[in-house]
Chains A and B, each alone.
Chain A
């Protein structure tokens, strides 16, 4: 027995087995459960009523569409604000230090609730009303680093001689940017969009804090239903959110975003 066991662990590929079991129990089964709950009623019989309920419920639909809208505005603002920053930091001519990049990424490592409350504090301090403006500011503030970092990464890896070649061939700065830099940074832009859109559309609690409970986003709808014991309906709403995100990641190249995220600062 002892011998067999050590034989088993001699083969290093078997070392993946504990983790495979762990992944099965804590990742695969839970996701299957979401689907199972979404398509069943409280007695466990198959039903589509959870989805029908969503379709028939104007408030839920409105929240859903509103959340997508907020996420899109946030994503666009992050792109518009973040791209130039990423570009400036990636180009040697501007001579910015590496610490600058750290400064931009740092807020990512501070608790999201503290960041959100800090935004509330800022608006209170400036005597600005909390509401949609605060919501969008807070979201951009929270997720801007997620846009800057992947774009910075792709721009930095870009072959600088391509720009020089374009310049030598007579392209003006605008053409160099639109024909060379922008197309080459597309993978970074796509992962940035995904990494901002995804958390924005799925956050809960943050919107409430930024708007004094006046605006609710879809994530909160999901959380409230789960909290109030409506597990089946909550699971159906989660599945709808998951589908939305799956569609988003299908359109962008998700392999990149995973690598960027894991690459981290450290």
Chain B
């Protein structure tokens, strides 16, 4: 009984430690003070000025860029990765092993190495860096995760169904759409979500591929902001919103997954 209590207490203590920084930010998102730690009374002002834009136009732009990049990168990665997974699954074992090996490189590589290597790629071929290069870079580290989340679905699938569809006169495209796609769709969705969050979260690869034409994502904005010494107060409500959204999303997804398992 006592061990059980102690064990629970330990978990909660560790969680309190993990969450105390983010809690501080959340609490101080409801006050106006420029400097974090000063409490000047409860107010929603930071939230309203975050959404009114205008004054903090560059922050609004950075948020839009971040989501746009994540949306494009995640969509392309999902398409490319799903098609690739079907292809890799049908390769002969040696080629498949080679593809899987290269596919794992971006996952194993530290961000900074991926960043430096892509930076060298773009400068070597004289490609000017900006929106496109960031999107390409994000696709390159997101797609491997899509491949890895689609692959188990393919392995679970009965290979004869596809052949049966062809025998019954379906064109390969029809067979893909009606037979393979529904089977791998859950893998594609989780791959997309994973790619989307990875892209939003990325800082190291982005900073190496974003160039210096004034394009900002949320990460580079926060970085530049922090280097200047201060932290734009509006980042507090923004972090709070992101945090709560992620929390709710993850709990909902997890609950759903558990329910599915029980069924």
Contacts and interface: CB of A to CB of B under 8 A. Distances in A.
Interface string A7-30: 001111111111110110111111
Given A205-B203, A258-B107, A34 B113 contact: yes
Contact of B112 (A33, A112, A238): A238
A16 B113 contact: no
Interface SS, B side? helix
Contact of A22 (B80, B113, B246): B80
B161 interface: no
Contact of A89 (B11, B107, B194, B242): B11
Contact of A249 (B7, B108, B140): B108
B221 to A, nearest CB: 9
B164 to A, nearest CB: 15
Contacts of A105: 250
Interface in B16-48: 17-22, 24-25, 28, 36-37
Interface stretch (A47-55, A113-121, A161-169): A113-121
A1 interface: no
B90 interface: yes
Contact of A30 (B118, B246, B258): B118
Given A30-B120, A85-B11, A242 B91 contact: no
B254 A34 contact: no
Nearest to A202: B110
B107 to A, nearest CB: 6
Nearest to B249: A109
A118 B143 contact: no
A66 interface: no
Contacts of B112: 202-204, 219, 222-223, 238, 241
Nearest to B198: A109
Interface in A220-266: 222-223, 226, 231, 234-235, 238, 241-242, 245, 249, 254, 257-258, 261-262, 264-266
Contact of B193 (A30, A104, A249, A266): A266
B222 interface: yes
A65 interface: no
Interface of A: 6, 9-20, 22-23, 25-31, 33-34, 37, 81, 84-85, 88-89, 93-96, 98-100, 102-107, 109-115, 117-119, 121-122, 124-125, 141, 144, 198-199, 201-205, 208-209, 219, 222-223, 226, 231, 234-235, 238, 241-242, 245, 249, 254, 257-258, 261-262, 264-266
Interface of B: 4, 7-8, 10-11, 14-15, 17-22, 24-25, 28, 36-37, 80-81, 83-84, 86-92, 95, 99, 102-114, 116-121, 123-124, 136-137, 139-140, 143, 145, 147-149, 172, 190, 193-194, 197, 200-201, 203-204, 207-208, 218-219, 222-223, 226-227, 231, 235, 239, 242-243, 246-247, 250-251, 253-254, 257-258
